[in-house]
Amino acid sequence: MTTDELRDVVLDALTRIAPETDPATLGPGEDLRDELDLDSMDELNLITALCQRLRIDIPEGDYPQLRTLDGAVAYLERRVSAATA
């Protein structure tokens, strides 16, 4: 999966959880929870959705790495390429 495809996966998952927001306007380093008004249940649902969509497992300890859009994409890139390597 390319970086752009992964970004779309994340944006799609975000839009499903918080459809009132426009994640495309997010700054690269902005905290998703602050910018999109996500609470910790939303965060959990987001990560669960990404795990299902990409068929990976994301341990709790890694959650902080997915708190910005760029961070999430970079993390998923590493994980997905490791899984397919």
Quick one: 30 exposed, middle or buried, by C-beta within 10 A (0-12, 13-18, 19+)? middle
Helices (H) and strands (E) in the chain, counts: 4, 0
Task: For the chain, give the number of residues.
Answer: 85
Q: Which stretch binds another protein (CB under 8 A): 2-10, 18-26, 50-58, 68-76?
A: 18-26
Residue owning tokens 């998952």:
13
Q: Quote the least distance from Cβ 72 to another protein, whole Å.
A: 15
Q: State yes or no: residue 64 binds another protein (CB under 8 A).
A: yes
Which of the residues 33 through 62 are near another protein (CB under 8 A)? 33, 37-45, 59-61
Question: Can you give the binding site for another protein, defined by CB under 8 A?
Answer: 15-16, 18-21, 33, 37-45, 59-61, 63-64
